[in-house]
């Protein structure tokens, strides 16, 4: 299945999907070093972009995978409610709503569902 990756980092989540038979057709992250690592180890080239709710995917998507940043509410991090990255999870949901993938996989830390941001999410 054609799969697009958001917040792909160096591609660990993507690798698992590729090994399971999925075809990553595009990957996006904002970190230059992560993009360099990704492009060294994966077939589909990753692009460096700022992912926000206004970001639009360049193609139809069957599967959308995303690992938005968790530093603002992770128990390992500083747990800062005002960390601007905290909103990227919900912005990812907005991108998914517009692109209408058949499958959406959102990966994050285990405390996300009980964080202030996770409780806002209605599934």
pTM above 0.75, yes or no: yes
CB atoms within 10 A of CB 117: 21
* Count: domains in the chain: 1
Supply φ then ψ for residue 107, to 5 degrees: -105, 135
Predicted confidence (pLDDT) per residue in 18-77, tens digit: 999 999 999 999 999 999 999 999 988 899 999 887 888 877 899 999 987 765 555 566
E strand or H helix that includes residue 105 = strand 103-106
Q: Is residue 6 part of a domain?
A: yes
Q: Is residue 94 part of a domain?
A: yes
Q: Is residue 13 part of a domain?
A: yes
Q: Is residue 97 part of a domain?
A: yes
Q: Which domain CATH number covers 35?
A: 3.40.50.150
pLDDT of residue 75: 59
Q: Is residue 85 part of a domain?
A: yes
Residues taking part in catalysis: 70
Q: Rounded to the nearest 5 degrees, what angle is found at the Cα of 43, between the Cα atoms of 94 and 34? A: 60
Predicted confidence (pLDDT) per residue in 93-103, tens digit: 889 889 999 99
Give CA–CA dist 49/37, Å, rounded. Answer: 15
Query: pLDDT grade, residue 79 (50/70/90)?
Result: low
Q: Is residue 65 part of a domain?
A: yes
Task: Give residue 80's domain range.
Answer: 2-114
Q: Is residue 14 part of a domain?
A: yes
Q: Is residue 123 part of a domain?
A: no
């Amino acid at each position: 299945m054609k799969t697009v990756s958001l917040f792909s980092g160096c591609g660990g989540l993507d690798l698992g999907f590729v090994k399971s038979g999925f075809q990553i057709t595009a990957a996006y992250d904002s970190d230059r070093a992560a993009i360099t690592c990704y492009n060294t180890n994966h077939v589909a080239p990753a692009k460096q972009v700022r992912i926000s709710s206004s970001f639009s995917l360049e193609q139809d998507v069957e599967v959308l995978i995303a690992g938005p940043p968790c530093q603002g509410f992770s128990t390992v991090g500083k747990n800062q409610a005002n960390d601007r990255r905290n909103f990227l999870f919900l912005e990812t949901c907005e991108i998914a709503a517009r692109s209408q993938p058949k499958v959406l996989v959102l990966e994050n830390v285990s405390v996300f569902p009980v964080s202030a941001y996770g409780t806002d999410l209605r599934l």
